[in-house]
Amino acid sequence: MTSKDDADDSDSWNRLGALVRVDQARMLENDNRLRNLELAVQRAGLRAVGQPARRRRARPVIVAALASAMLAAIAVVALRPRELSFAVGDAPGHTDSVLAADQQPLPLQFSDGSVLLLAPASEGEVKALSPHGATVRLARGHLDATVVHAAKTRWQVSAGPFLVHVTGTRFSAAWDPVGERLRITLAAGGVTVQGPLLGTTGLPMTKGQVLSVDVGQQRVLLAPLGDEASPAARPAQLPPAVSAEPAPPAEPNDWKSWALASDPTRAYAAAQQLGITTLSRQLTAPDLLLLADSARFAGAPRAATRVFQALRARFPDDPRAPDAVFGLGVLALDADHQPLRATQRFREYLSRWPEGTLAREAYGRLIEALDKAARPVEARRAAAQYLDRYGDGPHAALARRLLRRNPP
């Protein structure tokens, strides 16, 4: 039988617990994280609400500890960034819902202020949302995008086999799935486009450039925007296919012209005449990346490795340095068959640039490398991290297979 003091203490305890519960439930909008917080408090050794203490003197300390822990947990959850939301016209938007613009443009307005506009006769969908951006698929037609830049902005727009990495910019994308033609017009900011014909690490674009890719004709054209209209005023149509044969360079050893004409074999042959070592010491960071990709696609992985290494060493703080590290990992894994060396490169990328444009691909390739290196424990850990961050990514199936094959 308890004394009156015990009953008063118990009532105070219960009232405090009830107040914390009410306040927490309101802030968490009655979701199941309340129970998780309580369990976390219990696991930390604090007493559950209403449990009698062994010594009455300890109760005030325990009450204060419980209140502090729960309020701290509330603050953490309240301050955690929430994933973006979006509206389609005046209606709430939902991921994985087909969005079709028929006769009129269809606006998508996101909670961070970013706006996407599907042109008439276009179709797409929002595949995923995060606190820092969204993944959007353009199935066909034309899309104008104005993405608000923030510290950790991470947007991706896919179109067929192509992926546009966005950090904050204004651009338009047009995709013809029948003709397999892509056009990207960049009005402001910068993007990196990955996909067929664009090299190991993709093609970076800067303000005022137009990229046209014709997969069927195996042609790539990157040109200045010139006097073309702004993306917002452009009609929703793709340009005609790029001409079948690029004009030959004025000089036989003009490797860069051959590279930009999407002829890596001639580009690498021309670069050899000038000397790969000499060029590695003299070229700018963008040209080093272009030369490395040319060498790789010309079937010269050792030369590509040397050029990537020069880029990494000479320009460690350049925006293209992450591409060089990733490229070295890919070559170590695919060309040299050195999975352990590849894991070092991919881990370097993820350590130095965890929010880089190729972070998802680095995680996925790391899983491949660890699997080929027969490191099941590390592979399982990497697979779990990949699924936690990129549950629908291209390496998700491999990650799940590894987790089933190597259970904890």
- CB neighbours of 193 closer than 8 A, spacing ≥ 6? 162, 163, 164, 165, 182, 184, 202, 203, 205, 211
Taking residues 217-226, what's their average pLDDT?
A: 76
How far is the C-alpha of 40 from the C-alpha of 46, rounded, in Å?
A: 9
Per DSSP, the residues of 139-184 read EEEEEEEEE---TT--EEEEETTEEEEESSEEEEEEEETTTTEEEE
Residue bearing the bigger pLDDT, 187 or 62: 187
Q: pLDDT over 70 for what percent of the chain?
A: 70
The pLDDT, as a whole number, for residue 77 is 44
Q: How far is CA 131 from its chain centroid?
A: 12
∠ Cα 105 107 111 (to 5°): 175
Q: How far is CA 245 from its chain centroid?
A: 35
Does residue 230 register a pLDDT over 60? Answer: no
Confidence label for 389 from pLDDT (cuts 50, 70 and 90): confident
Q: Which residue in 356, 327, 107, 141 sits closest to 234, CA to CA?
A: 141
The pLDDT, as a whole number, for residue 173 is 93
141 sits in the region (left: phi over 0; alpha: psi -120 to 50; else beta) called left
The pLDDT, as a whole number, for residue 224 is 82
The pLDDT, as a whole number, for residue 381 is 92
Instruction: Provide the 3-class DSSP secondary structure of residue 79.
Output: helix
- Mean pLDDT highest for which of 5-19, 167-181, 277-291? 277-291
Q: How many CA atoms lie within 13 A of 344 on its CB side?
A: 6
How far is the C-alpha of 383 from the C-alpha of 401, rounded, in Å?
A: 9
Q: What is the token pair recorded at 339?
A: 């999975």
Does residue 65 register a pLDDT over 90? Answer: no
The pLDDT, as a whole number, for residue 36 is 54
**Which residue's structure tokens are 């925007």?**
225
CA distances 350 to 58, 365, 385, 407, Å, are 47, 11, 12, 25
CA distances 27 to 30, 68, 86, 163, 320, Å, are 8, 16, 22, 38, 43
Of 85-99, 256-270, 325-339, 340-354, the least confident: 256-270
**Which residue's structure tokens are 């970076």?**
204
The pLDDT, as a whole number, for residue 60 is 57
Confidence label for 235 from pLDDT (cuts 50, 70 and 90): very low
User: How far is the first Cα of the chain from the last one, in angstroms, to the nearest whole number?
Assistant: 48
How far is the C-alpha of 206 from the C-alpha of 186, rounded, in Å?
A: 7
| Residue positions counted in the chain | 408
Taking residues 267-287, what's their average pLDDT?
A: 91
Residue bearing the bigger pLDDT, 97 or 182: 182
The pLDDT, as a whole number, for residue 361 is 85
